[in-house]
Structure 1
Amino acid sequence: MAGNSSTLSSRLNEADSLTALIRSVYSEAKPLVTKRVQEFEAFPKQDLAKLFSELSFCVLTANWSAQGGIKTQNAIGNGFISLPYEELEENLRKVGHRFAPQRARFIVENRQKADMLFDIIQYPTKEARFYLVKNFKGIGWKEASHFLRNIGLLDVAILDKHILRLMHYYHMISELPKGWTQKRYETYEQLLVPISQETDMPLGEMDLYLWYAVKNTVDK
């Protein structure tokens, strides 16, 4: 497995399962994870500008990076819902986004349905994810899961390439998917449920421990 560092290689060598890997970093990562989970659970869901900013963050991180998305979100803040297309694209270029014109266009188009977010996040989480994917540009199954987790709905898995590589390394999946359907995403997600139960934490929190194992940090 392509690792982030020798630290990851060492962790993988010492842990014979995904559960063991999580437990190996638990004490070290717990303060960071706890802080982040508390931030998710305190998210102001009644604030449309902040909801839309978080949705836009997830649009930006697809095929880019969480750190890049955080940097952009810090720079633009609530401007995602109001900046003219040209200014938004310029801001994305300034932070080095790989797909600035496309993502700026997605975000501007998503504004037309921004009010739907209030209703969508009231649905059961998997139903909410379905409606996010169907209604918003640049939001696939992973991005929708990411958004829901970041606003405090922790019963979803964020199946990014790092998590999938870990699942492959531990023979939980036979291949890395080249694309997602709802059925495929939910099938892969379900494979993580026993690990979630063994470690006594929701999928969205467990993801942060796995992220720490790979990256030695906790983003969002």
Structure 2
Amino acid sequence: MLRNLVKNVKLRAKVLERAEEFKLNNKAGEDVWFRELVLCILTSNSSFISAYTALNNLYDKLFSLNEDGISKVLKNSGYRFYNLKAKYLFNVRKYYGKLKAWIYPIANKDEYEAREELLQIEGIGMKEASHFLRNVGYFDLAILDRHILKFLSSYYFSYSKKSLPKKDYIYIESVLKSISISLNLPVGLLDLFIWYKATNKLVK
């Protein structure tokens, strides 16, 4: 089934077009990188649409608001966990101006090491770090969100834990990477096909 999905000419063209956008982000400046980081913090435990709406309502005001102000914007956007994410976003502002200079040279040498570096940021876990790196043009890491795990549980193996410990993440990532190699596709793009299968959308 997945092989047929990847062979879908129209869908593959859309995914490759999206990949080119990620590559452009890689060459972009600090603001694009930081915006992607904020988006990835917002997507954790939230739908992409909700996170994207909150991002658009908040981003231009992010540096002028205190933590309570950020929380109010998120709440008014219909976003869940607005207090917790406001705390993360208020604190993450200290990385603005140095994010790309920090992560870019590391990611160009070793994406796994870059992901480990990003885990230092409050509100960033394995999935969020992988998502961020993919969105700024690195395709060697898997983004194991609930859609991907549900897909894998339906077609490959069962995974029923509510949380995803780091060691499990690394193991499942290796499985997904093996699948992606058999399909001649970077694992960082494979999730877009699975996500499309689950949601009929190609965003992220």
Distance (whole Å) between structure 1 residues aligned to residue 103 and residue 24 of structure 2: 18
Distance (whole Å) between structure 1 residues aligned to residue 177 and residue 72 of structure 2: 41
Distance (whole Å) between structure 2 residues aligned to residue 201 and residue 78 of structure 1: 36
Gaps of 5+ in 1: 1-14
Paired residue secondary structure (2:129): helix
Distance (whole Å) between structure 2 residues aligned to residue 83 and residue 102 of structure 1: 15
1:206: which partner in 2?
190
TM-score, structure 1 normalization = 0.82
Distance (whole Å) between structure 1 residues aligned to residue 183 and residue 114 of structure 2: 26
Q: Does 1:27 align with 2:27?
A: no
Amino acid at match of 1:183: K
Q: Deviations over 1:79-133 (max 9, x none)?
A: 4455432332222112111111110110111222342442123211111111111
Q: Does 1:154 align with 2:139?
A: yes
2:118: which partner in 1?
132
1:35-184 equivalences in 2 (<5 Å)? 35-43=17-25, 47-114=29-96, 115-123=98-106, 124-133=110-119, 135-171=120-156, 173-184=157-168
Distance (whole Å) between structure 2 residues aligned to residue 125 and residue 147 of structure 1: 11
Corresponding residue pairs, total: 200
Q: Structure 1 residue runs of 4+, over 6 Å off? A: none
Q: Between the two structures, name the one with larger relative contact order (CA 8 Å, sep ≥ 6).
A: 1
RMSD between aligned alpha carbons? 2.0
Gaps of 5+ in 2: none
TM-score, structure 2 normalization = 0.88
Give the conservation status (yes or no) of the 8 Å contact 1:110–1:137.
Answer: yes
Q: Deviations over 1:17-62 (max 9, x none)?
A: x434434xx2241232122111111005552232222111111111
Distance (whole Å) between structure 2 residues aligned to residue 20 and residue 35 of structure 1: 19
Moved more, 159-168 or 178-187: 178-187
> Taking every aligned residue pair, what percent have the same amino acid on both sides?
34
Give the conservation status (yes or no) of the 8 Å contact 1:211–1:218.
Answer: yes
